[in-house]
Amino acid sequence: MSKKRDTKVASDGGPEFTSAGVPWSEVPEFARADVAWIDGRHGSAESSLPSVDVVPVPDILYSLPYLHEDRPRGSKAMLDAAGARARLRDVRPGAWLISPFTGQKWAKWPSGDVEWLPADIELPSTLQVGGAQ
């Protein structure tokens, strides 16, 4: 049987603790935007995007490899991907963003996975969602 836990909320509306267990109030002001992106405190994008019937999923997303050979690697890329997945969680395939954490481009593939895109790939501006502010 599971117990119902009361989750305390920070002043920004997010959880009281970061994913690393640090109280949100102890995160230095200069680092809060990055920590918020990494932890997904911004939530899923709420911008209204055109339906797949109006603007289909871009063809390039069907032909690019999921794990592109030029994709960023390492811990910073993994943290950036976590923020992008949180931001694109509830939006349609083909939606994309530019990360405020690294400036990298991320998109939601037709499969629903969120993956990195090379900077030279152009996607419709009508499918771009804002990064977290």
Q: Is residue 21 part of a domain?
A: no
Q: Is residue 113 part of a domain?
A: yes
Q: Is the dihedral of CA 60, 66, 69, 72 positive or negative?
A: positive
Q: Is residue 70 part of a domain?
A: yes
Domain count within the chain: 1
Does the pLDDT of residue 114 top 70, yes or no?
yes
The predicted model gives 69-93 an average pLDDT of: 79
Question: Rounded to two decimals, what is the model's pTM?
Answer: 0.70
Q: Is residue 109 part of a domain?
A: yes
For residue 104, the enclosing domain spans: 45-127
pLDDT of residue 9: 45
Contact 99, 37 (CB under 8 A): yes
Q: Is residue 25 part of a domain?
A: no
Average per-residue pLDDT for the chain: 78
Q: Which residues pair with 97 in a beta bridge?
A: 106
Sole residue written with tokens 């963003």: 97
